[in-house]
A = this chain, B = another copy of it.
Amino acid sequence: MPKVGMEPIRREAIVRATIAELGVKKSLDVTVSQIAKRAGMSSALAHHYFGGKDQIFLAAMRQILSDFGAEARGELKTAAPHQRAQAIIRACFAPSCFTPDVIAAWMTFYVLAQTNAQALRLWQIYQSRIRSNLVYALRPVLRDPVDGAENMIALIDGLYIRAALSAPEEPQLAVNQAMRVLNTLLKAEK
């Protein structure tokens, strides 16, 4: 009973299922069949719409990256000019970016980006965005905003990877830790 206009629905279902499955299996040896099953369709259909496993993973990665972009834009919109860095940190650890599933998916994307040129490019774009946002946010409050941004990014990445292994690290704990370091960096200027 084929209904017309399914493509976008199927695509989204696949992307969601991929992220969920990555969250469960916690590695890239998730099967197309597993993804398709979770998305409620045959693996052949997944292949039909995406062309192959790589494209499926890349679509999932794009989704996660764009979710983060949305979160960040949202936080920045309602942030006072001198609180922009804090807004970015909040976005990084917002529920839509810092759930066990999403964290696990991030981890697998780090792995993917080591060998897949397209994935690496996606990551680099994301990196340079968050970097320039942070530099801009820190320029009014730090003598060396580039350096400060670099430090905060590394810290955030570290908190992510650790969250993947020590689940206890609740979102709130990570936010607090990042905020404390940021405050220390700011205080050290004056």
Question: Taking beta carbons and an 8 Å cutoff, which residues of A are in contact with B?
Answer: 25-29, 104, 107-108, 110-111, 113-115, 120, 123, 147, 150-151, 153-162, 164-165, 177, 180-181, 184-185, 187-188
Contacts and interface: CB of A to CB of B under 8 A. Distances in A.
Nearest to A114: B26
A143 to B, nearest CB: 11
B164 A154 contact: no
A50 to B, nearest CB: 20
A110 B158 contact: no
Nearest to A119: B165
Nearest to A181: B151
A104 B111 CA distance: 9
Contacts of A156: 158
Contacts of A147: 177, 180
27 contacts: A25-B115, A26-B111, A27-B114, A27-B115, A107-B110, A107-B111, A108-B111, A110-B161, A113-B165, A114-B164, A114-B165, A120-B165, A147-B180, A150-B177, A151-B155, A151-B180, A153-B158, A154-B155, A154-B158, A154-B159, A155-B158, A157-B158, A157-B161, A158-B158, A184-B184, A184-B188, A187-B188
A110 B155 contact: no
A105 to B, nearest CB: 12
A188 B188 CA distance: 5
Contact of A110 (B25, B114, B164): B164
Contact of A185 (B27, B111, B114, B184): B184
B27 A110 contact: no
